[in-house]
Amino acid sequence: MTTRRRDVDRGATAVEYGLMLALIVVAAMVAITAVGTNMAAMFDFLADVIDG
């Protein structure tokens, strides 16, 4: 009986870790996209300044 309870807890823990990982991945994607957009704008500005 105790072993069965531990197996159920392991399954729940795996799902929780999966959800946390998915949240971290989504947050990283949003951050990388935002930084990439800002970097592209900065490089465009610098290219315009260099071109004169």
Instruction: Convert the pLDDT of each residue in 9-22 to its tens digit.
Output: 667 788 899 999 99
Q: What separation, in Å, do the N-terminal and C-terminal C-alpha atoms of the chain show?
A: 77
Stronger pLDDT, 45 or 7, i.e. the higher one: 45
The answer to whether residue 6 scores a pLDDT higher than 70 is no
What is the model's pTM?
A: 0.61
Q: Cα 12 to the chain's mean position, in Å? A: 22
* 25 alpha-carbon distance from chain centroid: 3
